[in-house]
Chain A
Amino acid sequence: MLDFMFFVFAGLALLGGLLVAFHRSIVHSAFALVVALFGVAGLYWTLGADFLGATQILLYVGGVTVLLLFAVMLTTRDSTRVSLGRNVLVAPIVGYLAYLVWQAGLGIAAIIADTHTAVTADPAPTTGAIGALFLEREHYLLPFEAISVLLLLVLVGAVTLARRGQEAA
């Protein structure tokens, strides 16, 4: 069952990624990004990260892609076509970078193989543990507070940037 879910969600993620990279229309690409991010959320679930999967859907699928769609509809007049045939240099660069990433992943996998523990099929819910980690001083309390300040800065900064554009107009 978990194997089947892995294939479904991996397929969604890769299909969405392919459409983002190669589809002609930017609106379709933005919707394909929703599919890809949902697939990644499903992969988090198959990895036992239920809270992270839910956060991914809330923040990415519900937030970031809606922002992206707004920006697409506010700015785009025509869709930019992919010209992979003309970008001859791009393909080897992409292939080489992907190869490096793959090798790095295998290297870390080789290190991890020593500490590898048995993976249980039905892991415990993670929400309570994550909440405790966020609020314990010896764990993630400082990053948690720092990111709260950062989010406030982002809120003010985004409003300032967008409003300055309106006032000039």
Chain B
Amino acid sequence: MPALPGLVAAAGAKAAGAVAAGAQGAAAGAQAAAGAVAQAAAATAPAATVTGHAGHLQSYLVVSCVLFALGIATILTRRNVLYVLMGVELILNAANLNFVAFARFGGYGMDGQMFALFVVILAAAEAAIALAIVLRIFHDFGSIDVTRTDSLRD
């Protein structure tokens, strides 16, 4: 157990590297994570039957946070509409992961999974409509660059 805060902090530091220049925020997050895990380890008895990182909410929060950051980075840096869609999918998955992890570790039963299921269904619907619109944009503008689609009329 005492090795855990350091490991989670290391994971947070990895997150900082992935976000590139968001290093300050992520490093602060890693420190907060280390503190939170230390508190949790001190406060709760080791009753959980799942051990290691898979048994801790914070490990899933780290993964979800990094996925969210990568999704935002994709949306902000790319100019192709399809990349923006991929970034949105990454962000939705990060949110879903949080739903399921919170429900599991908070003991809320199936509600988190039901929410995540609805999100997955809505994401599929969104992708279908968005790709139909992308094809129309490509037909009308001859390109799917988000900076060049500046008109709604023919």
Report A's interface with B, CB cutoff 8 A.
Answer: 2-3, 5-7, 10, 13-14, 17-18, 20-21, 26, 29-30, 33, 36-37, 40, 43-44, 46-49, 51-52, 55-56, 59-60, 63-64, 67-68, 70-72, 74-76, 79-80, 82-84, 87, 90-99, 101-103, 105-106, 108-110, 112-113, 115-121, 126, 129-130, 133-134, 140, 143, 147, 150-151, 154-155, 157-159, 161-162, 164-165, 168-169
Determine whether the beta carbon of A95 is less than 8 Å from that of B25: yes
Quick check: A60 and B131 within 8 Å, CB to CB? no
- On chain B, the residues within 8 Å of A6 by CB distance are 52-54, 59
- Establish whether residues B132 and A98, one from each chain, have CB atoms under 8 Å apart when the complex forms: no
Provide 5 A-B residue pairs closer than 8 Å at the C-beta atoms, listed in order of the A residue: A7-B53, A84-B20, A87-B76, A119-B48, A119-B50
The answer to whether B128 and A2 touch across the interface, beta carbons within 8 angstroms, is no
Q: Using Cβ atoms and an 8 Å threshold, which residues of chain B touch A97?
A: 68-69, 72
Closest 10 CB pairs of A and B: A95-B22, A99-B25, A3-B52, A91-B21, A117-B107, A6-B54, A112-B106, A98-B69, A161-B132, A17-B70
- Given that A105-B98, A109-B58, A154-B128 are known contacts, is A98 also in contact with B113, CB under 8 Å in the complex? no
Q: Report which of B60, B125, B127 forms a contact with A47, defined as CB distance below 8 A.
A: B60
Residue of B nearest to A147 (CB): B121
Complex interface: chain A residues within 8 A of B87 (CB): 20-21
Q: Does B116 contact A (CB under 8 A)?
A: yes
A118 touches B48 (CB 8 A): yes
Q: B21 — which chain A residues lie within 8 A by C-beta?
A: 91-92, 94-95
